[in-house]
Structure 1
Amino acid sequence: HGTGFFPLCATLNLMLYEPHLKVSSDSEVFTLPNFPVEIKLTGSQIPAFLKKKVETEFTKLFEASKACEKRSYGVIVNSFYELEPVYADHYRKVFGRKAWHIGPVSLCNKAALDKAEMRGMEASLDEHECLNWLNSKKQNSVVYLCFGSMTNFSDPQLFEIALGLEASGREFIWVVKKEKKEKEEWLPEGFEKRMEGKGLIIRGWAPQVLILEHEAIGGFVTHCGWNSILEGVSSGVPMITWPVSAEQFYNEKLLTEILRIGVAVGVQQWATFVDVKQEASVKREAIEKAVTEIMVGDEAEEIRSRAKALREMARRAVEEGGSSFSDLTALIEELKSLKA
């Protein structure tokens, strides 16, 4: 499955009880009923295809996929038990679904050569520009920003991110999906020159796992996609949550309210992966505040400590005898017994 147990449970809960259809507006807060902990959401944070206002081909596909999932023998989940034990149990016992947690799968690729092949590059690891750049930075001093392979922000939003980063005074690596042009209106005038040596913009694809594992990385601004969350957890990096679409608002709740290894930047509106709005929904002041909160001070150290503890749990989970190693072994044995 593409998501973890917590968002799986939240999605099934919304489909079963439909609390979002019982409020008067998208801004009204509701609580997920019969959920292991109290989670509050608003209609504006719910995927459009769950609101059932208009049936589309996507809503039909989504409902068909969920029905197929229910009929299947079980679900394999890229997660580990220690990350979300209550919700793994809830999914199995309350919803009656067979499931196996086998992750984080990103930790199963340990050899440097394998990682080099994974990122599709022929260059050796120390030859990559961003890793060389990170090698010159102090431990936990750099903020890494990446919003996944599908999210596209408008130019005004990118402009606000740039100004927020500059105002925070923190060093950063920022992944953007913009080709280099002679005149770039999404960047403040003179920004790259002012940030020379302090900030690095990567255009297109970046070796995210390798960046997150670098000791210089002290915070991760993420769209809360499940793979990115697991990669952040596996690297022990605190996160600034900026959910955009899909199940990402549920994932934000897991990071900020339950695991308490993240700080929310304050997004309130679910959107499609392509942001067509011309105004920025998150302003520079909110970005500066979240970056400062995750990087500096006693609370930041407490968040970092919890993140480091989860990293150790994640690594133990995939080792022989760990929870994910054992669950994968149990799955293989169960499937072998069915064949017999």
Structure 2
Amino acid sequence: MGEESRKLDVILFPFLAHGHMIPMLDIARLFVSRGAKATIITTTLNAPTVLKSIQNSQKLGAPIDLEIFPFSTRQVGLPEGVESFEQAIGLDMFGQFMAATDMLRSPLEQLLESRRPDCLVADMFLPWATDAAAKFDIPRLVFHGTSCFSLCAIEVLRLYPLNVPLSDDEVFFLPHLPGDIKLTRLQIPVEYRENFEGQFKRFMNRIGESEVKSYGVIVNSFYELEPAYADYYRNDLGRRAWHIGPVSLCNRNREEKAQRGIEAAVDEHDCVKWLDSKEPNSVIYICFGSMAIFSSAQLHEIAMALESSGQQFIWVVKGRGDIRENDQEWLPEGFEERMEGKGLIIRGWAPQVMILDHQAIAAFVTHCGWNSILEGISTGVSMVTWPLGAEQFFNEILVTEILKIGIPVGAKEWGKVGSVPLTVKQEAIEKAVRQIMAGEEAEEMRNRANRLKEMALRTVEEGGSSYSDLSSLIEELCSKSKGD
């Protein structure tokens, strides 16, 4: 396979959002580590983030090529310089951003025609990529940045219109899925609860139809984590899927973990030094991903809960504008002085994988984005789940009810990306933090989380299921290329 795999030429096209680009870069590294040639597509203003990862990969003897496309903002009414989904959502310009993204189809087709790669791996949010690749008889693989469980739940919602109860709090079961999967009306997107055809549902239909026509799906998960749903996705929903995760585990040493993604807002050595001073399993880590923007009132509730819980913590806070200038709006007076040595606030991007992997971290308060969930699983931490939107309420069910390694904080309503969620009160946050950090139940969850960590580490090693799935995919693509 070694000689054959060197002939494989793969182009990878992530969606222009950090939570999508980072795992796609990890996937490029996995292909290159098996001898394939890999090229990442991005746009001018996203290139510096991608280049950093490519340079780190180069140091390890795994070169990745870069292809930069121009991003048209003016034609669709986007302000100049807005080239990431996070920026567009902050400006409430989802439609304009997706229109600009659709315009990347033309340069993609030009590249595919001139390069004729063996495969195109394109993000789920680029549904037109299937037809673009088909024009040149190039197999398109869809990259879904979420769990197999969530993929199944989303597809069931899409395919089988629900007779959703009128009461917001009334529980209903997702049809057809293995297990009794319960949700309330408020935990699913508005268009599915009201059963109307809006922008979001139309877009999800485009994604679903594109996926069915594609060559197959790459899933950043591993079979042993969710076997019933991996089987349902392949057998009942008829998807050709390869589970190759957790892809973040390709970052082996501390430097790779610290430098993954955007430049951190804290010095990695200071962060490690702070963690090194703590006892094992004594710190809780709080982070809500790259997209969530909380109100000052909600940040204030979190601060008060952390102080009253008595727990040591690292808290990553992101916001619109300069958070430091607005400290008085959300930080209780004297909070940082009182928390000196007990709590560390990181304003901006944090080296999350490095932090989670430290022995001092016991638990993780998370928005249930799949990158974060899988990074938590890969490092053996239990979780407090606080879903906000997207597929995060499904991921919460996986963590709390199926894997049983988490406690819900009590978030009840799905919100569109970028919206300010309803306030979760201090008492609920404090209760969940205490519950996940101390006591018999917390110990049992930590033990289960550690078993999943060991499972995750084994699955990406030679002979493991994810390693074997990637080998199988590479062999199949090589065989198809040879046959052509």
Q: TM-score range by the shorter chain?
A: over 0.9
Shift of 1:70: 1.2
Is 1:223 the counterpart of 2:367 in the alignment?
Answer: yes
| 8 Å CA contact retained: 1:81, 1:323 | yes
User: What SS does the corresponding residue of 2:325 show, helix, strand or coil?
Assistant: coil
Q: How does 1:63-102 map to 2 (within 5 A)?
A: 63-102=205-244
How far, CA to CA, are the matches of 2:274 and 2:470 in structure 1? 38
Do the aligned partners of 1:153 and 1:274 also contact (CA within 8 Å) in 2? no
Structure 2 residue corresponding to 1:32, chosen from 170, 174, 179: 174
Measured in 2, the distance between the counterparts of 1:12 and 1:129 equals: 44
Shift of 1:56: 3.4
Match of residue 114 from structure 1: 256
1: CA distance, partners of 2:418 / 2:210? 28
Stretch deviating more after TM superposition (308-317 or 63-72): 63-72
Quote the offset at 1:53 in angstroms. Answer: 5.0
Maintained 8 Å contact 2:216/2:240 = yes
Flag structure 2 segments of 5+ consecutive residues without an equivalent: 1-143
SS across alignment from 1:293: helix
Match of 1:267 among 390, 411, 427: 411
Using the TM superposition, give the Cα deviation of residue 119 of structure 1 relative to its aligned residue in structure 2, in angstroms: 4.7
SS at 2:388's partner residue?
Answer: coil
Indicate yes or no: 2:283 matched with 1:151.
no
Cα drift, residue 181 of structure 1: 1.9
Task: Tell me the amino acid that sits aligned with residue 152 of structure 2.
Answer: C
- Call closer, same or farther: CA 1:127–1:289 in 2, change over 3 Å: closer
Instruction: Determine if contact 2:356/2:376 at 8 Å carries over to the other structure.
Output: yes
- Kindly tell me: are residues 37 and 309 of structure 1, through their superposed partners in 2, closer, same or farther at Cα, counting changes over 3 Å? same
Distance 1:159 1:120 in 2: 26
Task: Tell me which of 424, 427, 434 is aligned to 1:285.
Answer: 427
Please name the residue that 2:393 is paired with: 249
Kindly indicate whether the alpha-carbon contact (under 8 Å) linking 1:126 and 1:132 is maintained by their aligned counterparts in 2: no
What is the deviation of 1:127?
5.2
User: CA deviation digits over 1:141-196, x for unaligned, max 9?
Assistant: 00000000000111111111111111110000000014212752111111111111
Are 1:8 and 2:8 counterparts? no
Retained in 1: the 8 A contact 2:384–2:409? Answer: yes
| SS of equivalent to 1:236 | coil
State the secondary structure of the residue aligned to 2:413.
coil
Percent same amino acid at aligned positions? 60
Q: Which runs of at least 4 in structure 1 moved beyond 4 Å after TM superposition?
A: 119-123
- 1:89 maps to amino acid: D
1:70-96 CA deviation, whole Å, 9 max, x = no partner?
A: 111110000011110110001001111
Q: 1:193 to 1:14 in 2, by over 3 A?
A: same
Q: Which runs of 5+ in 1 are unaligned?
A: none
Of residues 167-176 and 126-135 in structure 1, the stretch that sits farther from structure 2 once superposed is 126-135
Letter in 2 for 1:230: L
The aligned residue for residue 17 of structure 2 is none
- The 2-side partners of 1:82 and 1:163 are apart by 39
Distance 1:268 1:48, change over 3 A: same
Mean Cα displacement is larger for which, 26-35 or 165-174? 26-35
Secondary structure of the structure 2 residue equivalent to 1:75: strand
Whichever residue aligns with residue 377 of structure 2, its letter is: V
1:58 alignment counterpart = 200
Taking structure 1 as reference, are residues 15 and 119 closer, same or farther at Cα in structure 2, changes over 3 Å only? closer
Q: Does 1:138 align with 2:282?
A: no
- Tell me the number of residue pairs that the alignment of Structure 1 and Structure 2 aligns: 336
| 1:188 corresponding residue in structure 2 | 332
| SS of residue paired to 1:336 | helix
Alpha-carbon distance between aligned partners in 2 of 1:89 and 1:135, rounded to the nearest angstrom: 42
Higher RCO (CA < 8 A, seq sep 6+): 1
CA distance 1:119–1:66, shift in 2 (3 Å): closer
Change (3 A) 1:290 1:336: same
Name which of 363, 376, 379 aligns with 1:235: 379
- Report the CA distance between 1:18 and its aligned residue: 2.4
Q: Match of 2:202, as an amino acid?
A: K
Give the C-alpha shift of residue 114 in structure 1.
3.0
* TM-score scaled by length of structure 2: 0.67
Alpha-carbon RMSD across the aligned residues, in angstroms, is: 1.9
1:161 aligns with 2:309: no
What letter corresponds to residue 387 of structure 2 in structure 1?
P
Counterpart position of 1:325: 467
Which digits, 9 at most, give the CA deviation of each residue in 1:256-315, with x for residues without a partner?
0010000010111111233436xx521111111101111101111100000000000000
User: What amino acid is the match of 2:290?
Assistant: S
**Residues 254, 354 of structure 2: 8 Å contact kept:** no
State the distance in 1 between where 2:312 and 2:149 align: 33
Q: In the alignment, residue 168 of structure 1 is paired with which amino acid?
A: S
- CA shift, 1:50, in A, is 3.0
CA distance in 1 between counterparts of 2:345 and 2:417 reads 21
**1:17 matched to 2:160:** yes
Contact 2:268/2:351, CA 8 A, preserved across alignment: no
User: Quick one: structure 1 residues 70 and 316, their matched pair in 2 at CA, closer, same or farther if it must change by over 3 Å?
Assistant: same
Partners of 2:250 and 2:455 in 1: CA distance: 14
